[in-house]
Amino acid sequence: MKKIALASIALLSIATTSFAAVNEAGCKGCHGQNWEKKALGKSLVVADMTKADMAAKLLAFKAGTAGTIMKGQVGRYSEADLKAFAEKYGK
């Protein structure tokens, strides 16, 4: 019984970790495959943003202080996930 419980906990931990990362494919639909587009013709170009600016903007969207369109997109991610995304793609 202990082995089943431990295996279940380990599997849940792995699943949670794998789903925590930002779904980049969803972002690229509007921002372009190389982050080169202005989403909806008005956003900033992600490829031109610094890591700090990108993290700040994503966290502002999550908090609801930078408009509502992106709030639904980033709201499901943790602050750590959004900062890691900015670290990966920001200049």
The pLDDT of residue 15: 40
Containing 20, the helix (H) or strand (E) segment is helix 2-20
In the 8-state DSSP scheme, what is residue 59?
H
Q: 57 and 46 in contact (C-beta within 8 Å)?
A: no
Residues 6+ apart with CB under 8 A from 54: 46, 85, 86, 89, 90
Q: Which CATH class is domain 22-89?
A: mainly alpha
The pLDDT of residue 59: 97
Q: Could you report the per-residue pLDDT of 32-65, keeping only the tens digit for each?
A: 999 999 999 999 999 999 999 999 999 999 999 9
* For the chain, domain boundaries: 22-89
Taking residue 3's Cβ as centre, other Cβ atoms within 10 Å add up to 7
In the 8-state DSSP scheme, what is residue 23?
-
Global confidence as pTM: 0.75
Report, as an integer, the average pLDDT of 64-79. 93
Indicate if the alpha-carbon torsion angle 72, 89, 29, 14 is positive or negative: negative
